[in-house]
Amino acid sequence: MTTPSAPPFGRALCAMITPFTEDGLLDLDGAQALAERLVTDGCEGLVLSGTTGESPTTTDIEKAALVRAVVEAVGERAAVVAGVGTSDTRHTIELAQEAEKAGADGLLVVSPYYSKPPQEALEAHFREIADASGLPLALYDIPGRTATRIEPETMLRLAAHPRIVAVKDCAYDLLGTQKVLARTDLAYYTGCEEFTLPLYAVGGAGYISTVANAAPRQLRGILDEFDAGNTTEAARRQRQAIPLIELMMASGVPGTVTAKALLGALGLPAGPVRAPLRPADRETVDGLLAAYEDLISTDQP
């Protein structure tokens, strides 16, 4: 089997930051303005309250309010996927049910972090969450943060659940990913922007991107060119985005911090990060701006 021709949440998804006011409160007006910009500039879906959205430091009430505000802002123009994963199955189910009530179109569920459950327990965790609401699920496989891989054989079993429809893939195992793609209909979204084109080219669904907060058109262009059969141009666009991708995602500064720093420098809704994260320094901001401006200036063939 192959991945569906129409991915469940679209192809180009942004892992959206959560804007805060200067005093650290949830900025719902800013969230709506940012969501509107992202959808206008090519995002087909918005993923809220993931790592980029500072889910570890936002409350359950804030998470639900954010979903309601963004759904109100974008309507049916984009899918709204709510991050609900925690290390506690019961808490994750509560968040999933609240997100459904708030109007989310789907759920992103990360592997339980820190507790390192074995594969049998991990599988049971995801099944319980999938059974607890009517929304489709994307599993988030990021062992570098959670310390627990969703092994390909586990993924194959979970794919049989009717509401487990997608994966956000940050496992850095393209071979394992292709083994699952070959045997299931799971829609695989890369969460690692350097793999946007490689994964898409072997049947991936697209991306869930932190970098898309700042450069949604540029990342969307990679997929559009590939779909149009312009593979050389798609590859050029992928390479052109690498300097910004590297600074935002691989410079040793968390992507949440770099995304908010760049958006703030561009005059877009962002605000501060919440502790224990710290704001980017001036040198980092200057480097981000230079890479962003270079990408924008070279966006045309």
Task: From 123, 169, 165, 124, select the one nearest 143 (Cα to Cα).
Answer: 169
d(C-alpha 260, C-alpha 288), whole Å: 11
d(C-alpha 274, C-alpha 32), whole Å: 20
Bridge partners (DSSP) of residue 207 are 12, 190
Active-site pick, 63, 116, 168, 207: 168
Give the angle subtended at the CA of 84 by the CAs of 50 and 92, to the nearest 5°.
145
The answer to whether 52 is a known ligand-binding residue is yes
Alpha helices, H only, the chain: 28-40, 60-74, 89-102, 119-132, 143-146, 152-158, 174-183, 196-201, 216-227, 231-249, 255-265, 282-297
Task: From 135, 142, 70, 132, select the one nearest 112 (Cα to Cα).
Answer: 142
Active site residue 114: no
Active-site pick, 63, 140, 207, 260: 140
d(C-alpha 215, C-alpha 263), whole Å: 10
Q: Per this entry, what is the length of the chain?
A: 301
Token output for 75: 């309507």
DSSP letter for 279, please.
P
**Cβ contact 99:107 at 8 Å:** yes
Q: Coil, helix or strand for 163?
A: coil
Active site residue 168: yes
The answer to whether 142 is a known ligand-binding residue is no
d(C-alpha 247, C-alpha 47), whole Å: 22
User: Residue positions in the annotated binding site?
Assistant: 52, 208
User: Residue positions in the annotated binding site for pyruvate?
Assistant: 52, 208
User: Which residue numbers are catalytic?
Assistant: 140, 168
